[in-house]
Chains A and B, each alone.
Chain A
C-alpha cells in the first residue's frame, strides 16, 4: 500500500513537471544569448588563424585556406565571405579554387556556389548548371537551387522545375534523405535551406518539414544523425531555421526543456573555440566549418542581412592565373543577371524579401528590418504528419548521394557494429506492432537492440538514448517489426490455401496433404534460421555491444570508370563511399564492414552467393548498381586491405585494428588498379 502511494506521488510529480516545463523553460533559457553569437564566430576564426599559424585572417585565407581550396576549407571561406563581405580580398582563394577545378571534378556544384559567393567565374557556374538535371543527386539539386535563387539561370530548365524535383523526392514523413528509408535531419535541413526563398509556393511542405525537425529534436535540444548526437546535424537545423527567418534561440518549437539547438551544438565546442564531432573528441574540420556557418547564419539574420545563401552581389573577384597554361575564357555568355533586376520570374516568389533586401541595399545593409521570428509559421501541417506509416519506402531515393555531395566531406567517424545482428533471432518474436506506429526513426532509436542484452555497456547506451528520446516515447516505444512472424504466418496461410484447393479438387489423399505440410515446414525452417528484418530496423546505426572492437577505414571507388555511365552509378569523381571509419566487433570480416556501410551509410551491395546465414562465401557482384561485367568481361569489384589485394573472399578476411579497406572497380582483372 505504501509502495503504491509512493509511486502515485511519483507519477504526480512527474506529470506536474511535464506540465510545468514551459515555466522551467523560461528559467533555464539562458544557455546562449544572441549577443554572444558574434563573439563565437570571431572565436572560431581566431582559433583557425592560430592553428594555421597565420598572422591575420587575410593571411589565413591566402595561405592555409587557399592550399585546401576545394577540399576542406570551402565552407570556412564561404562563411568568412558571407560574414565579413568586402573586408578581405578573396582573389587568392578564388585563384586557388580555379586551379583546383582543373585538377579535380569533385563537387562541382559546391565549387560553383563558392565562385558565386565571390562573384567569379560565371562561365563555370553556367557550365555547372547547364545540361538538365536528370540523374542529379539530391544534394546537387539543392546546390543548383541555391545558385538559381541568386539569379543564375540554367539552359534547359527553370528554377520551378528544380523545386518540383526536390519536392518530388520528399519522403513520406515530410523530410528528405539521400538514401531510401526515413528522412535524415541533416538532409532535410539542407533542403530547407535551399527552399527558403520559395516559401510562397512550397510553404506547406516547408512547414511539414519544420514540424518534423521539431519532432526530431532531442530532449536537450540536440539533433542526432544515425543514432548519434552530433554538432553537424544541429548546425544544419540552425542554418535552415535562420534562412527561413526563424530565430533558433527563441522559437518555442525548437527549444526543448530550455535548450535550443544552438546550446546543443555548443556542447561540442572545445576550449579554443573550434568544435569536435563527438563529445570528448578532438577538433574536427567538418564540425567546425558547419558550426561556423550556422553561427554566421544566425548573425546574418540578426543583422538583417538575409539568409546565409543569399549572396552579396557587390563582391567581385578577378582570378589571377597561377600557371599560365590555361587562359581564362570569357567568351561564354554570362548568365548572371544584373543585380538591379530583382523582379524576374525566378525571383517573384521571394516574398520573404531576404534576397531583394540584400540586393537593394548591398553591403551597406545594416538597417535592421523587423525580423520574421514572430512570423506565424507555427502550423506544423498536421495533415502531412498523419501520413506517417511504417510501410517501407514509397519513393525511390538515391543512395549514391554519398558524402561526396554533402558538405561533410571529411572523414566520417561513425560508430558501427554488426554485433547486434547476432542477437537477432530472439528479437524477431516480439509483440506485433500496430500500423499506427510512429514513423521509423532510424536515427535515434537504439534501445530495442539492447533489450535482450544484459551487459552494462548496453544498459548505459540504453539510458543515454532514452534521454534524448523520451518526448517521442509517448507514441509507444519502437520495437523491431515482427516480420518473421508474418512470413511464417504467410507460409502456412499459403499451405492452408493449397490444402483447401487439393481438398475441393477432390484429390484428398493423405500424401498430398503431407507433401504440402512438408513443403511448408521446409520453408518455415528456412525462415526460422534466417535473419529477417524490416528495412526500418535494418538501415540504422547499430550500437557497439562487443567488448573488444576493431576500427577500420573503408572506401569504395570506381575511378576506373568514373563518369562513364549514369552519374548516380558511376559518379564523375569516382567516389562511391569516401573514407569512412567503422567500429566493428573484433573478428569481423571485410564483408561485415561492407554490411555496416550498407546499414549506416546507405551503400547498396549485391552479394550473389546463395547461402542462407553463412556469409563466408560472399561474392560481391555489384556495389551501388555498378556490377561486374558492366564494363567488359574482365570487369568487377576488387578489394585491397592496406594496399594489398587479398587472396581470400571478403567473407573470410578477418580485420585487425587500423586496417584500411579499399574497394575498387576494375575493368581488367586488377591490371588497371596497380
Chain B
C-alpha cells in the first residue's frame, strides 16, 4: 500500500470520507458495485488478513440478500408464498444490493484501517483538539491491547494446567476465569496509566502537537482530483434523474445523462486511488530495470 502510505494523512482522510459518503448516500446498485470493486482493487494486493475480511463481507451480503425477503414483502415478482407472506425477487435483490453496499463500506474501512495508523489519525485530529487526539489514540490502542492481554492470560492458565477445553462447560468456565482476570488487570492498568500520566505532567499546561508529515504537491493534486470528482458527482446527483427503485419493481438503469455521469464520476473516484497505486508499482519496476 505504498502510494497510499506515502500520501499525506489528510489527503487520504478526505478521499476516504468522499468515497464513503458517495457509497453510503447514493444508494444505487451500480455505484455500490463499482465501490466494492474499487475497494477490492486497493485491498486485495496489500490488505491485511484478507481471507477473514472477504469472508465477512461475502457473508454479510449473502445474509442481507437471504434475510431481507423474510422481513420486507414489497415487490411484485413473487417467488414463494410462506404463510400468506410473499417472498419477492425485488426484496431479495434489494437485500443483495444493500449487502454489496455494506461490503464495500467494510472493505473501504479495512483499507482505511491499514493505511491510517494511529499516528496518522493523531496528525489529522491532533491540532483540532489535542485532548481528543490523545483519547482517540488510547482508545484505538485499547482493543488490540485487550486482546493481547487476554491471550497472555489464556496462555498462562494453559501452562499452569488450570485451563481445560474438553467439554463446552469446562471451556465456558475457562473463558469466564480468563475474563475475570482480564477485568482485574484492566482496572489495575487504568490506575497505573492515570498515575503515570499525572507524574509526567499531564494537565500541567497547554498541549502542543508535532507532525511528522509534510504536505507535498502530489497531496494537493490528489485532494484536487478527489474534490473535483466528488463535486461533479454531487452536482449531477442534485440535478435529479438519478435513482433506482426496487419496489414495487426494479426500475432499471434509466440511461439518462445524469445517471451515466454520476456512475462514471463515481467509478473514477473509486478507481483513481488504485490507478495511482498501480502507476507507482509500474514506475518501481521501470526504475529497477534501469539499475
Contacts and interface: CB of A to CB of B under 8 A. Distances in A.
A396 B79 contact: no
A535 B80 contact: yes
Contact of B249 (A181, A396, A534): A396
A531 B78 contact: no
Contacts of A398: 76, 248-249
B84 interface: yes
Interface stretch (A136-144, A286-294, A347-355, A604-612): A604-612
B84 A392 contact: no
A181 B77 CA distance: 8
Given A392-B77, A606-B73, A607-B73, A625 B84 contact: no
A610 B168 CA distance: 33
Contacts of A607: 73, 84-85
Contact of A535 (B73, B81, B90, B249): B81
A393 interface: yes
B261 to A, nearest CB: 21
A532 B79 contact: no
Main secondary structure of the interface of A (DSSP, over half): loop
A511 B168 contact: yes
Contact of A625 (B74, B79, B83): B74
A612 B83 CA distance: 6
A343 B80 CA distance: 50
A230 B81 CA distance: 28
A571 to B, nearest CB: 13
B74 A622 contact: yes
A327 interface: no
Contact of A530 (B71, B79, B83): B83
Contacts of B250: 396
Contact of B248 (A531, A568, A613): A568
Interface in A165-183: 179-181
B83 A180 contact: no
B95 interface: no
B175 to A, nearest CB: 16
Given A531-B84, A607-B85, A397 B79 contact: no
Contacts of A568: 248
A459 B77 CA distance: 33
Nearest to A483: B80
A610 B247 CA distance: 20
A399 interface: yes
B78 A393 contact: yes
A533 B81 contact: yes
B80 A539 contact: no
A285 interface: no
Given A511-B168, A612-B83, A625-B247, A392 B74 contact: no
B86 interface: yes
Interface in B58-106: 71-74, 76-86, 89-90
A531 B86 contact: no
Contacts, number: 78
A396 B74 contact: no
Contact of B77 (A393, A538, A606, A624): A393
B185 to A, nearest CB: 31
A615 interface: yes
Interface string A478-492: 000001000000000
A191 to B, nearest CB: 19
Given A399-B76, A569-B248, A532 B81 contact: yes
Interface string A582-600: 0000000000000100100
A228 to B, nearest CB: 22
A598 B84 CA distance: 9
Contact of A532 (B73, B77, B80, B249): B80
A606 B74 contact: yes
Interface string A534-578: 110011000000000000000000000000000011000000000
Given A396-B250, A625-B247, A613 B83 contact: yes
Interface string B198-209: 000000000000
B18 to A, nearest CB: 31
Contact of A392 (B71, B79, B83): B79
Contacts of B81: 531-535, 538
Contact of A595 (B71, B72, B84, B168): B84
B84 A535 contact: no
Nearest to B247: A625
A534 B87 CA distance: 10
Given A604-B86, A610-B71, A535 B78 contact: yes
B77 A396 contact: yes
Contact of B78 (A180, A421, A605): A180
Interface string A283-304: 0000000000000000000000
A531 B82 contact: yes
A595 B85 CA distance: 10
A31 to B, nearest CB: 40
A604 B83 contact: no
A539 B78 contact: yes
Contacts of B249: 396, 398
B121 to A, nearest CB: 37
A421 B73 CA distance: 20
A534 B80 contact: yes
A605 B71 CA distance: 13
Contacts of A606: 72-74
Contacts of A605: 73
A611 B70 CA distance: 11
Contacts of A393: 76-78
B251 to A, nearest CB: 10
A393 B89 CA distance: 10
A176 to B, nearest CB: 15
Contacts of A622: 74
A180 B247 contact: no
A653 to B, nearest CB: 16
A491 B133 CA distance: 50
Interface string A388-421: 0000110011110000000000000000000001
Interface string A132-172: 00000000000000000000000000000000000000000
Nearest to A607: B85
B46 to A, nearest CB: 27
A531 B83 contact: yes
Nearest to B248: A625
Nearest to B84: A595
A569 B76 CA distance: 12
A532 to B, nearest CB: 5
A534 B80 CA distance: 5
Contacts of B80: 483, 532-535
B76 A392 contact: no
Contacts of A531: 81-84
B79 A535 contact: yes
A607 B82 CA distance: 12
Given A396-B249, A511-B168, A610-B71, A604 B76 contact: yes
A162 B248 CA distance: 21
A543 to B, nearest CB: 18
Contacts of A608: 73
B243 to A, nearest CB: 12
Nearest to A624: B248
Contacts of B83: 530-531, 611-613, 615
A533 B74 CA distance: 18
Given A392-B89, A533-B82, A535-B79, 13 more contacts: A393-B76, A396-B77, A397-B76, A398-B249, A421-B84, A531-B83, A533-B80, A535-B81, A535-B86, A604-B76, A605-B73, A612-B83, A615-B84
27 contacts: A179-B76, A180-B77, A180-B78, A392-B77, A392-B78, A392-B89, A393-B76, A393-B77, A396-B90, A397-B76, A398-B248, A511-B168, A530-B83, A531-B81, A532-B80, A535-B78, A535-B79, A535-B80, A538-B81, A598-B84, A605-B73, A606-B74, A607-B73, A612-B83, A624-B248, A625-B74, A625-B247
Interface of B: 71-74, 76-86, 89-90, 168, 247-250
Listed from nearest, the 3 A-B pairs whose CB atoms lie closest are A396-B249, A535-B78, A625-B248
